[in-house]
Chains A and B, each alone.
Chain A
């Protein structure tokens, strides 16, 4: 059975801390992995990763994929209260394109 597992399920940090979120997957036919941020509304796209070892960055957020060990990490440096959200990862299957499989998400709370 295909699985996408995120860890931790939740965490609380102080402003200025660095956060590392993990997404591991067991998918028969992997194509790409995506990260989304969800506040009290619809998820918004952060990154798409297809190739192993290439870091993607956007401001204080960065992400990297390891296709050998089957995981991705999302880093948030110098956290701000606006980073409080649920972070979701999703895997696109290559054998039935269009099918996105999501993990359960990591709830991040950044306290002042």
Chain B
């Protein structure tokens, strides 16, 4: 299995509080992603990173920010959590070698509940 960990694995918080989720990889992959998964929606991309300090928005980026100061860590921050951000959050990594695409490997997920 690819070396990807997420922390925390479960979190319950209250509306209006800031929350930071951490993704850590040991694979030295260039690309890192944050997704949320909700029933009926599959995986929706929040933000992704294509290198240290290089990030871009996905399809559901409102209310979320990210940072990547090191290759191995990708942080997702909810500045002021809302109940609509209750979800399961997955981090993923991928690499591209010699111009060839490669699949994404997923972390174990973080279940976030905002009350």
The chain A residues found within 8 Å of chain B, CB to CB, are: 6, 31-32, 34, 41-45, 48, 50, 88, 90, 92, 96-105
Partner of A103, one of B42, B45, B59, B102: B42
Nearest-CB residue, chain B, relative to A50: B101
B43 interface residue per 8 A CB criterion: yes
In the complex, the answer to whether B94 meets A45 with C-beta atoms within 8 Å is: no
In the complex, the answer to whether B48 meets A41 with C-beta atoms within 8 Å is: no
Q: How far is the CB of A54 from chain B (nearest CB, A)?
A: 15
In the complex, the answer to whether A41 meets B42 with C-beta atoms within 8 Å is: no
* Contact residues in A for B92 (Cβ distance below 8 Å): 100
What is the count of residue pairs linking A and B with beta-carbon distances less than 8 angstroms? 60
In the complex, the answer to whether A98 meets B94 with C-beta atoms within 8 Å is: yes
Interface size of B by CB at 8 A reads: 27
In the complex, the answer to whether B43 meets A88 with C-beta atoms within 8 Å is: yes
B90 interface residue per 8 A CB criterion: yes
In the complex, the answer to whether B109 meets A104 with C-beta atoms within 8 Å is: no
* Contact residues in B for A98 (Cβ distance below 8 Å): 31, 33, 48, 50, 56, 94, 96
In the complex, the answer to whether B42 meets A42 with C-beta atoms within 8 Å is: no
B26 interface residue per 8 A CB criterion: no
Chain B CB count within 10 A is highest, among A43, A88, A101, A103, for A43
B44 interface residue per 8 A CB criterion: yes
* Contact residues in B for A100 (Cβ distance below 8 Å): 33, 45, 92, 94, 104
B70 interface residue per 8 A CB criterion: no
* Contact residues in B for A31 (Cβ distance below 8 Å): 101
